[in-house]
Amino acid sequence: MRNSMQKGFTLIELMIVIAIIGVLAAVAVPAYQDYISKSQVTAGLAEINPAKIQVESALNTGTLPADAAARGTKSTTAAHVLAYGITALTSSRCANEIVVNVDNSATIQCTLIGSGSINSKVIQMVRTLDNATTGVTGTWSCKTDVAAKFAPVGCALTATAI
């Protein structure tokens, strides 16, 4: 009787490998989608964060952009958001808006453009109003209405769109 050496994989071995790959994919794809959503939220925050410094500077020096004369209304022009250091009124990540109020409170908002779980959600930098009694100037905080697992660290989940 002749002994023949096996020259390949059996069907059962191949099916086991395919099953393992399927389980790994079932776990990896949703985790990757969550990672993408979280990175899109963080990119939106990074896009509006520089405007914080520009708004603060304009408030401290009294040099608000000319088209911001109607304080208390949200920006509707690219010139307005550009004056505050945001690259565009609408980018691939955000539809940007800024409101600077008469009491020096302010909201810088990014309406997110991205994956389904974060699309049309907002992330904001919010400045509290100045306190004339104590002399304390407004403080900035981050707010968002995305799911907690996508929110940047330290960002409150209490945003309401402007």
Residue 39 in domain: yes
Residue 153 in domain: no
What are 145-158's pLDDT values in tens digits? 999 999 999 898 88
pTM greater than 0.85? no
Residue 114's pLDDT band (boundaries 50, 70, 90)?
confident
State the CATH number of the domain containing residue 96: 3.30.700
- CA gap 110, 129 in Å, rounded: 20
Residue 2's pLDDT band (boundaries 50, 70, 90)?
low
Chain-centre distance of CA 30, in angstroms? 19
Alpha carbons within 13 A on the beta-carbon side of 125: 23
Q: Which residues contact 82 (CB under 8 A, 6 or more apart)?
A: 88
Residue 158 in domain: no
Residue 162 in domain: no
What are 31-48's pLDDT values in tens digits? 999 999 999 999 999 988
What is the total count of domains within the chain? 1
What are 48-102's pLDDT values in tens digits? 888 888 888 888 887 776 655 556 667 666 776 777 767 677 888 888 888 887 7
Residue 156 in domain: no
Residue 6 in domain: no
The percentage of the chain sitting over the pLDDT mark of 90, rounded to a whole number, equals 36
Residue 47 in domain: yes
Task: Find the domain containing 65 and state its range.
Answer: 11-144
